[in-house]
Amino acid sequence: MRIFVTGASGWIGSAVVTELLGASHEVVGLARSDESAERLEAVGAIVQRGDLDDPEGLARAAGDSEGVIHLAFQHASGGNFAAAGAADRRAVEVMGAALAESDRPFVIASAMIGLSSGRAATENDGLVASPAVRANPAGRRAATALLALSLRGIGVRSSVLRFARAVHGEGDHGFMATLVGIARERGVAAYVGDGSSRWSAVDRSDAARLARLAVEGAPAGSVLHAVGDEGVPFREIAEAMGRQLGIPTTSLAPEDAPEHFGFMAQFIALDSPVTATITRELLGWEPSGPGLLEDLDQAHYYRSA
């Protein structure tokens, strides 16, 4: 298959590109910069120059493909989630229109935060955009995921791939790497309250393999969960970091979390375990990479920048 991938040069996207190429697919990767284009060319992908603010280019690339994996999101847009969410929705709209009446696959990335309360979320959660989600700029990505699922009504084999809160592995510069940096700077590995809040997690290679399986065979309207660890207590995450950094582990009162963790404080005590039972049964996907705690015991998270 000729597969168009947005976010192709990113940390997760680059793993997806490698996974697709290894399965003999032809990959066209979206690249905003010369550096990104060079990385894609080096691994054997075809480069499509542009970004999410180029609707004509997105539509053309999607129309010329046999399938699309949409991973790009403007996280670096100065914290303006409303603008990033609007750009994401426009991209889904134009690429979906280009794929209409073709039965070609369209896989889009989404997140899992806020899917359920007091229990582990499943793939059947989040299929209705609540008023709270619609009113929250950061939650508009979930509404765009619902738009993507609706594209099955115009002949698109659309599916939504929700990534665990922590996607981890060698080269990680996301949540786990940020938390290691905070612990090193503060001299203490902290958690909030009793540290029982649970984080879902998945190894990057497992997430990439699921993206390939999705574009190859996920039924129209599928919701998929890239989850290896359903819920790791944050206290255990902090203890792993403290052990490797040789610093103490301690509890923080909720009111002290923002000063310690900065923007990460809003996520630390959020208890949101997630299951992937339906995904595993639907696509035969079984995570085989290391779990989060095992990975946090590896040296790559603690090398000085």
Express each pLDDT in 196-225 by its tens digit. Answer: 999 999 999 999 999 999 999 999 999 999
CATH number at residue 95: 3.40.50.720
- Note whether 133 and 245 are same-domain residues: no
CATH number at residue 259: 3.90.25
Where is pLDDT greater, at 282 or 130? 282
- Note whether 161 and 248 are same-domain residues: no
Lowest model confidence (mean pLDDT) among 56-65, 134-143, 232-241? 134-143
Looking at the domain assignment, is residue 282 inside a domain?
no
- Note whether 36 and 158 are same-domain residues: yes
Residue 301 has pLDDT above 50, yes or no: yes
- Note whether 124 and 40 are same-domain residues: yes
Looking at the domain assignment, is residue 214 inside a domain?
yes
- Note whether 16 and 133 are same-domain residues: yes
- Asked whether 164 and 232 are in contact (CB, 8 A), the reply is no
Looking at the domain assignment, is residue 283 inside a domain?
no
Residue 38 has pLDDT above 50, yes or no: yes
- Note whether 178 and 205 are same-domain residues: no
Q: How confident is the model at residue 127 (pLDDT cuts 50, 70, 90)?
A: confident
- Note whether 74 and 141 are same-domain residues: yes
- Note whether 7 and 102 are same-domain residues: yes
Mean pLDDT for the stretch of residues 189-200: 96
Predicted pLDDT of residue 148 = 96
Q: How confident is the model at residue 129 (pLDDT cuts 50, 70, 90)?
A: low
- Note whether 178 and 67 are same-domain residues: no
**Which residue range forms the structural domain that includes residue 19?**
2-165+201-228
- Note whether 152 and 53 are same-domain residues: yes
Please report, for residues 1, 8, 75, the alpha-carbon distance to residue 27 in angstroms, rounded to integers and kept in the order given.
8, 9, 23
Residue 236 has pLDDT above 60, yes or no: yes
d(CA 191, CA 238): 6
Give how many domains the chain has, as a whole number. Answer: 2
Predicted pLDDT of residue 267 = 87
- Note whether 114 and 24 are same-domain residues: yes
User: Which H, E and C letters describe the chain, residue by residue?
Assistant: CEEEEECCCCHHHHHHHHHHHHCCCEEEEEECCHHHHHHHHHHCCEEEECCCCCHHHHHHHHHCCCEEEECCCCCCCCCCHHHHHHHHHHHHHHHHHHHCCCCCEEEEEECCCCCCCCCCECCCCCCCCCHHHHHCHHHHHHHHHHHHHHHHHHCCEEEEEEECCEEECCCCCCHHHHHHHHHHHHCCEEEECCCCCEEEEEEHHHHHHHHHHHHHHCCCCEEEEECCEEEEEHHHHHHHHHHHHCCCEEEECHHHHHHHHHHHHHHHCCCCCECCHHHHHHHCCCCCCCCHHHHHCCHHHCCCC
